[in-house]
Amino acid sequence: MVLDVAIIGAGFGGIGAGVRLGRARITNVAIFERASELGGTWRDNTYPGCRCDVSSNLYSFSFAPNPAWTNTFSYQPEIQRYLGDVARRHQVDELIRYDHDVLEVTFDEQARLWMLETNQGIYHARAVILAVGALAEPRMPTIAGLGDFEGPVLHTARWNSTVELNAKRIGVIGTGASAIQVIPELATHVEHLDVFQRTPAWVVPHRGRPVRARTQRLFRYVPIIQRLARYLDYWRRELLVLAFARQPARMAKAEDGARQFIAAHIKDPELRRALTPNYRMGCKRVLLSNDYYPALARSNVELVSDRIAWVAPKGVVTDDGRFHELDVLVCATGFLVTDNPVCQRVRAVDGRSLAEAFAGELAHYKGTTFPGFPNLFMLAGPNTGLGHSSIIFMIESQLNYVVRALEHALASKAPVEPTARAATAWTESLHAKFPCTVWGTGCASWYLNDAGRNTTIWPDFTFAFRRATHRFERDDHVAAGGSE
Ligand code: NAP
């Protein structure tokens, strides 16, 4: 049987796509999920302290508000439960084929079908939605000797809760969003914690707090109140774009506040200096935590800012020649974002993989479709990431375009593909914005690809993206029959 749509991945993108396609009465759909559980990054990131840094009311689908959130910024288990609930309530769970690892995705031009080779057989589909997420593949650091370390080596996105950490000497590599959440959790019960920092992050206070039972009741019985709370949070965050994407110098005031935050917790001037970033706030993701600096001030925690030279069987040697004896290494080193390996498995009409096309600076159309890849849609694709708001808003915007494009493709029996002209115009116009934004102020970050181009961030207001994805613009797509 030929599917109308094959969705790859059952995280926020895949579940959202399943719901939206169902509403558009596109029902001949399957979701291929490599794991035996849904949830994507929220299934995989089970390290202690894992939490979302976008508010619960905004970090949820617009069509599925959750009046039962117990915290204004949810922890991982609750988000994972929420996604399962949404999938069940909207009967999307019935579409999921678990333990199906998609190995190769190729387009048969004659039949105008995508062929998906999985570990459980071959499937054909008229269209493919890549909903694999940007934070799916852990990035292990490339440090000499890492393979020789005798103790357990964990990655925050592949946590192993059976590894004993109590009363052990632990080394955490990295000081990004995952690290600053796991470090305070570990600090209280390990014997010693070395935090290996390469670049300090800007950290600001976390405003998360438990939601009172009476607020939950209010949200349940007067849903407009929760909508209003979401709306207000959305617009408060959009104001940040004025600084991030228009006048980055405005971030100086927030930097002063963050320096005072460091000073309030860190008395040692040397440590304070080591923790103070020397780049514009916002260029790398701004982190939220009330307990990261207090954890670093503990007597059993040391911030090591000398670079790691190599890993020895029983510890880490830093550039200054010091040996740090360790029992367990925790890599909080992030994800393969601009080089997601799944892109190597998707091949265009001409045989090029999506990864090869990206390496050649392939232009994209609204972060979602690509010339040469008919009826292929990518959620959370290039330049749809955010530093200030919820990726779910971006995914839902993309789904507006995807659903309309699919309705057109299925009705006309002609695959949808953006013209090279439209894709180039889109990509170049947004890249022209970067020099004046906070991401153009100069810092190394995972937002940049190997060529130093920012292929991750959406450099504008999110409502501009919502507007751009609202319609299916026929003129921007290759006409049926193949000519531009
Ligand atoms: P990340 O932001 O990429 O941070 C990785 C950290 O590892 C950085 O401090 C990096 O240093 C360091 N690092 C990488 N390779 C290293 C090496 N070879 N030696 C020493 N240090 C090394 O990854 P993440 O913390 O997992 O976060 C990724 C994204 O996931 C976040 O930006 C966010 O979008 C999401 N996330 C969100 C939350 C939340 O909602 N609170 C929590 C976790 C993750 P450099 O800075 O020098 O590169």
Q: Which amino acid is at 372?
A: G
Q: Which atom of ligand 1 is nearest to the CA of 135?
A: 30
**Of 56-60, 164-168, 439-443, which has the strongest mean pLDDT?**
56-60
Q: Is 51 in the pocket of ligand 1 (CB under 6 A)?
A: yes
| Cβ neighbours of residue 435 closer than 8 Å, sequence gap 6 or more | none
Task: Give me 358's structure tokens.
Answer: 């990206």
138 lines ligand 1 (CB under 6 A): no
* Residue 209, pLDDT score: 97
Q: Which atom of ligand 1 is nearest to the CA of 333?
A: 7
Give the Cβ contact number of residue 95 at 10 Å: 26
Region 229-253: mean pLDDT is 97
Kindly report the protein residue whose alpha carbon is nearest to atom 46 of ligand 1: 199
Highest mean pLDDT among 1-15, 327-341, 344-358: 1-15
Gap between the Cα atoms of 274 and 301, Å rounded: 14
Strand partners, 107: 114
**Which candidate, 252, 246, 255, 257, places its Cα nearest to that of 440?**
246
Instruction: Determine the pLDDT at residue 481.
Output: 59
- Give the number of the atom of ligand 1 that is nearest the alpha carbon of residue 175: 9
Q: Any bridge partners for residue 40, and if so which?
A: none
Statement: residue 85 has pLDDT above 80: yes
What is the chain's mean pLDDT, rounded? 96
Ligand 1 centroid to 85 CA: how many Å? 29
What is the best residue among 140, 154, 158, 198 to mutate for testing ligand 1's pocket, by most ligand atoms within 8 Å of CB?
A: 198
Query: Is the CB–ligand 1 distance for residue 416 below 6 Å?
Result: no
238, pLDDT greater than 90: yes
pLDDT of residue 432: 96
CB atoms near residue 191 (< 10 Å): 12
How far apart (Å, rounded) are the C-alpha atoms in residues 132 and 247? 33
pLDDT at res. 361: 81
Crossing angle for the helix pair 223-241 and 213-221, to the nearest 10 degrees: 100
Q: Among 338, 362, 358, which Cα is nearest to 456's?
A: 338
State yes or no: pLDDT of 27 exceeds 80.
yes
What pLDDT, on a 0 to 100 scale, did the predictor assign at position 360? 80
The pLDDT of residue 129 is 98
pLDDT at residue 452 is higher than 70: yes
Provide, for the chain, the percentages of residues in helix, strand and coil under a 3-state DSSP scheme, each rounded to the nearest 5. 35, 20, 45
Name the nearest CA neighbour of 64 among 85, 42, 33, 91. 85
Give yes or no for a contact between 293 and 202, defined as CB atoms under 8 angstroms apart: no
Q: Say how many Å lie between the CA of residue 202 and the centre of ligand 1.
A: 12
Instruction: Calculate mean pLDDT across residues 450-478.
Output: 95
Residue 480 has pLDDT above 70, yes or no: no
Q: What is the widest separation between alpha-carbon atoms in the chain? A: 70
For the cut 60, the answer to whether the pLDDT of residue 166 exceeds it is yes
Instruction: Check whether 482 has a pLDDT greater than 80.
Output: no
CA of 443 to the centre of ligand 1 (A): 14
pLDDT, residue 483, reads 47
- Shortest-distance atom of ligand 1 to CA 177: 25
> The pTM is what?
0.96
Return the closest-CA partner of residue 38 out of 103, 102, 82.
82
Distance 388 CA to ligand 1 centre (A): 16
Q: Which ligand 1 atom lies nearest to the CA of residue 143?
A: 18
Closest-CA residue to 230 (of 85, 399, 54): 54
